[in-house]
Amino acid sequence: MNFQSQKQILRSEVRQRRVALSDRSVRSLTIQQSAISLPELESAERVMVYVGSRSEVETRHLIDELLRLDKTLFVPWCDGDELRLFRLQSINELQPGAFGIPEPKHELRLLPDRQIDSAKIDVVFLPGLAFDAQGGRLGQGKGYYDRLLESVSQNCILIGLAFDVQLIEEVPTEPHDIKMDLIVTESEVIRCPPV
């Protein structure tokens, strides 16, 4: 079996396990509360958070808390094959976008004071289908986050949010794949070994 087939089978298996969870909202809240308590967030000024959708770990509480703490908060939006970042000031600035994922309203996206170079982000919260304790992350397969992460600073802290059922022994990775620094689940915070 080739590498891509192995990844596709793994995506399907883990997605089914995630969808089968009956109490995702309760588990998501626990994960978000752990994430907001991370010491790495204390000194972070600019934070990017994905906007959870479908069976992903929800992020609404995390977004609300980061705004309340006066962090400069960015959310991604889809521009063709790339993710752009938008400075979010209110959850009301979002509307359904690509793939049904909430994104910034069209009239706000390109305002100069709402954009940022991804190299200036201090912390990134990422979704994924599967993670391992070494920091491996398996995404949906479209490469959106992989392309975005190529331009973040080496000091940027990458944090995967996942349910316990998404942790696997080893994510199949390639040399260009970017590793997570931490993974937060409903039962633990995993601090991945440095690359």
> Residue 143 belongs to what domain range?
3-191
Number of structural domains in the chain = 1
pLDDT in tens, 92-144: 999 988 677 899 999 999 899 999 889 999 999 999 999 999 999 998 877 78
CA distances from 167 to 13, 138, 162, 192 (A): 12, 10, 8, 13
Which residue has better confidence, 141 or 86?
A: 86
pLDDT tens figures, 11-33: 889 999 999 998 999 999 999 99
Express each pLDDT in 63-80 by its tens digit: 999 999 999 999 999 888
The residue assigned the tokens 């978000």 is 32
Contacts of 104 (CB under 8 A, 6+ apart): 75, 77, 86, 88, 93, 94, 95, 97, 114
Residues 6+ away with beta carbon under 8 Å from 182: 38, 40, 157, 158, 159, 160, 189, 190, 191, 192
Fill in the DSSP letter of residue 116: -
pLDDT, tens digit (0-9, with 9 covering 90-100), for 28-52: 999 999 999 999 999 999 999 999 9
The reported pLDDT for the residue numbered 174 is 78
Burial (0-12, 13-18, 19+ Cβ within 10 Å), 80: exposed
Percent pLDDT > 90 in the chain is 71
**Does residue 163 have a pLDDT over 90?**
yes
Q: What is the pLDDT of residue 192?
A: 95
Domain of 172, CATH number, reads: 3.40.50.10420
Where does the chain show beta strands of DSSP type E? Answer: 46-49, 72-79, 82-88, 94-96, 102-104, 123-126, 130-131, 137-138, 157-161, 182-184, 189-191
